[in-house]
Amino acid sequence: MEEGEGVKSSNKPDIRISSPFSWRGDTFPPIIDSETPDHLTRIRDLGIPYIFDIHTHFFPETVMKLIWRWFDNVNWAIGYRMPEAERVERLHHNGIERFTTLNYAHKAGMASSLNDWTYANYKNWKGAVPFGTFYPEEGVLAYVKKAVEEYGFRGFKLHCEVSKLNLNRPELADTFLYLQEKQIPILIHTGTAPLPGEFTGIQFFKPFLETYPNLKIIVAHMGANEISAYASLLDSYPNLALDTTMVFVDFLATGKAADVDAAVSYLETYQNQIYFGSDFPNIPYNLNHPITRFLDLPISDLAKQKILYKNAENLFFK
């Protein structure tokens, strides 16, 4: 059974009920897009022409299917399990006109080929901002330079849990120094949610940040499950930022409800250092849910404008 089937059919149980991750409330948000998402009118009323999603994933189809298999094993429903071109249409349908092409390597010899694949395909995805990845291996600096100087990539993605990656490994020093000099941002999953890894957490991230204080870094999921610890660094490191991916939603894979609620104040205080992210397509609800939940938060219109698109626009196109 394809994962979406269990939530589309009225005579089959919603597989999300068996997820090991918690949810707010007693009902699940819709997993299928509505014909006209209700957030579109709301963002226009706020003077937001479109949404810039800093955290969307694109993998070769064979790799994406393996990733979905992992989600199957934890009853993490994916309504956007559809061909790549249709997934891009779903982004635009929800007002997301610009988005990143995040992927990551979990072993040596994989990152460079992922970069080649992204470069060969991203121009087919209207609105895509190309991101690459890298891994601690021989030749890493050379293919990162190629991605920047030949492919024109605008950023990179690292995943400390999946890649079992210690950011402080000396063989990555030259690569980080190069990206720091070029002011190319890196979006890093370094937090311990939804699952901790050998090298995740603030204890590994903080010495890395101290080593490369001028590196442009975006911490995925606001650093959950240690949001306050990551947010405490924002004042001292103006090039550090967080993304909202899967934080202010009913699905609590990135933290307890109380911790998530406490993080709302950071959106106002650090409105210039926070980006909207969704984790599309690997989300157990439709895109209206994270956008609407964000719009419902008790923060200023200006903060919403900055987080939903202006900050990313300034980062990549200023």
What is the full per-residue pLDDT of the chain (318 aa) written as tens digits?
233 333 444 456 789 999 999 999 889 999 999 999 999 999 999 999 999 999 999 999 999 999 999 999 999 999 999 999 999 999 999 999 999 999 999 999 999 999 999 999 999 999 999 999 999 999 999 999 999 999 999 999 999 999 999 999 999 999 999 999 999 999 999 999 999 999 999 999 999 999 999 999 999 999 999 999 999 999 999 999 999 999 999 999 999 999 999 999 999 999 999 999 999 999 999 999 999 999 999 999 999 999 999 999 999 998
Q: Are 95 and 123 in contact (CB under 8 A)?
A: no
For residue 212, the domain's CATH number is 3.20.20.140
Q: Does 21 map to a domain?
A: no
Instruction: For residue 264, tell me if it sits in a domain.
Output: yes
- Domain of residue 138, residue span: 53-317
pTM value surpassing 0.85:
yes
Residue 118 lies in a domain: yes
Instruction: Outline where the chain has alpha helix (H).
Output: 5-8, 39-45, 61-72, 84-93, 111-121, 140-149, 173-182, 202-211, 227-231, 257-262, 264-269, 288-295, 301-305, 311-317
Say if 3 falls within a structural domain. no
The answer to the question of residue 23 being in a domain is no
Token representation of residue 215: 């590196």
Does residue 15 form part of some domain? no
Domain assignment present for 22: no
Contact 4, 79 (CB under 8 A): yes
Token representation of residue 274: 């926070």
- The verdict on residue 266 lying in a domain is yes
* Count: domains in the chain: 1
Count of C-beta atoms within a 10 Å radius of residue 226: 22
